[in-house]
Amino acid sequence: MSEVIQSAISRHRRAIQGLAQKVDLLAKIAQALHIAILNNRQIFVCGNGGSAADAQHIAAEFIGRFKKKSRPPIAAIALTTDTSALTAIANDFGWEKVFSRQIEGLARPKDIVWVLSTSGRSHNILEAMRAARAIGAYTIGFTGISPPQEFFDMSDWCFRADGEDTASIQESHQIAYHAIIGAVEESL
């Protein structure tokens, strides 16, 4: 058991060490969010599975607070939380439309759509990105090291975690989005 645990820690350490080379990108993402917030734009966040939980976490940090004791709420919505909308859209339009349909109904030009997909291949995430681009919203893509070119091309800012597996990718995502949210809070 110790060997398995040590191996997992080593994998995660390598993934996290890759973040040091991505500080400039993370700062650009924080700056884009800062500008959107100052211009009363909304932030929409989505993902599947563990990335759905991360989407909810990101939205909660914005609408609630991250570290600052007192600040105004920031308009952020996790598109993963309305089970009535998710199941109705999936039933009527297909699972690939569960996020794009919400974006089409809620997002406006210059809003931010933040998607998380460890593979970058989830059809509903790609559809969400297409919908955001069609509306004129900006897109932040969080993925693993080798997403399909389409994911990269549809991201205004694309953070690619260096993880070897889903868990280490998600852990890199968590550290990165906490750093981004902390920078945004400090800038407001």
Q: What is the pLDDT of residue 18?
A: 82
CA distance 59 to 95: 22
Is 71 within 8 Å of 65 (Cβ atoms)?
yes
Single pTM value for the model: 0.94
pLDDT at 77: 98
Phi (first) and psi of residue 67, to 5 degrees? -115, -35
Give the per-residue pLDDT at 146: 84
Per-residue CA distances from 96 to 21, 41, 92, 131 (Å): 33, 25, 11, 12
- Secondary element (H or E) of residue 112: strand 112-116
Tell me which DSSP letter residue 24 carries.
H
Q: Which domains does the chain have, with CATH numbers?
A: 2-187 (3.40.50.10490)
Which value, to the nearest 10 degrees, does the dihedral of the CA atoms of residues 110, 50, 74, 157 take?
A: -30
**pLDDT tens for residues 71-124?**
899 999 999 999 999 999 999 999 999 999 999 999 999 999 999 999 999 999
What pLDDT is stored for residue 125 in this prediction?
98
